[in-house]
Amino acid sequence: MFENKQKVYVLIMLLMVMLLSISQNTKGNANIPLAPVSEEGFLPNPFQCVNDARKVPNCIDAVKKFQFKIITKECCFVLLKAPEDCLGMLFPMRFVIKIMLQLTCRFIGIHA
């Protein structure tokens, strides 16, 4: 009886590996990067996100401290164009930050 369970577990594992292999080999939207990638294309490049946002003075600090009164148009452009992964690298609560940022930017005349 123990051998039968072991065979079933092995077959399930093999099936899972095959399914994962098939799903990794499908094309889908493979041409669209989900985040800025390094030059080799393997890992995300968090430095690009940070560098773009740091070019605007007080942008990251204002958003982290919820000081939305001092956010500039340049800050809005940089952060709203950043991919979701970049916001996740810059701010711990990216969904809350994104909503607040969109509202603030809309208030100062920038629509996402």
In a domain, residue 64? The reply is: yes
In a domain, residue 22? The reply is: no
Range of the domain at 68: 44-111
Range from 17-21, 44-48, 66-70, 83-87 carrying the lowest mean pLDDT? 44-48
Rounded Cα distance between 112 and 107, Å, is 11
In a domain, residue 65? The reply is: yes
Q: Give the global pTM.
A: 0.54
Q: What is the pLDDT of residues 54-102, one digit of tens each?
A: 888 888 888 888 888 888 889 888 888 887 777 777 787 778 888 888 8
Amino acid at 106: R
Give the total number of structural domains in the chain: 1
Going from the C-alpha of 104 to that of each of 22, 52, 112, the distances in angstroms are: 44, 19, 11
Find the distance separating the first CA and the last CA of the chain, reported in whole Å: 61
In a domain, residue 24? The reply is: no
Rounded Cα distance between 94 and 53, Å, is 15
In a domain, residue 23? The reply is: no
Rounded Cα distance between 8 and 58, Å, is 58
